Structure 1
């Protein structure tokens, strides 16, 4: 059985490679990834597609500030090289991510990467 801190460390390594197929393997088939600035993404394949889209849109790097764990939950505090900061909560069940919820400033992210800002 893998501890949440270890799983999150491995997840960060995969994230920093920008490999959507590799990162998708960390999730249950019916997992939910809810980056609260966006609608929840449900299912491993949809999560893979989300990461593939994101990795093709912007170059992203996750720099770990802290990883905490409490039972089957892990918490990641992170920053990126452009100064954006955020945190993610991971519910780990049977060595896979069942639920991920992330908090970060979407407007700052879009501005930093010179991406379009929605008007609605």
Structure 2
């Protein structure tokens, strides 16, 4: 499976709200760093992060662009509410080893009708 194909599976699992399937796409020591939050390290911690997020908000990833640069794939996305963002994935040996996500947390909270801290 190519890195771009792996990200296609990631989008499908994300849109299904399947934290377990998402976690299986990460290496055991992967880091997921959404810049609005502290980095999360390890497959189990990443699964727990997705479970918390899916229980809090209805999230959907609509792919705008997928830029494949070998072991690095950039996913430009939007959601049905108009939020836009970007995920950068490093994929080694068929697993995501590092992910960084860029999106605006204040806009996300407002669009989801969630409390603003």
> Smaller-chain TM-score range?
over 0.9
Name the structure 2 match of 1:17.
16
For 2:70 and 2:112, the matched residues in 1 are separated by 36
Structure 1's unaligned 5+ residue stretches are none
Classify the secondary structure of the residue corresponding to 1:81: coil
For 2:105 and 2:12, the matched residues in 1 are separated by 22
Name the structure 1 match of 2:50.
51
For 2:39 and 2:92, the matched residues in 1 are separated by 19
Classify the secondary structure of the residue corresponding to 2:113: coil
Pairing 1:35–2:40 present? no
The alpha-carbon deviation at position 4 of structure 1 amounts to 1.5
Name the structure 1 match of 2:75.
76
Name the structure 2 match of 1:99.
98
CA RMSD of aligned residues (A): 0.6
For 2:75 and 2:3, the matched residues in 1 are separated by 10
Q: Which shows bigger deviation, 49-58 or 108-117?
A: 108-117
Q: What TM-score does the superposition give when structure 1 sets the normalisation length?
A: 0.96
For 1:6 and 1:81, the matched residues in 2 are separated by 23
Structure 2's unaligned 5+ residue stretches are none
For 2:23 and 2:47, the matched residues in 1 are separated by 5
The alpha-carbon deviation at position 33 of structure 1 amounts to 0.1
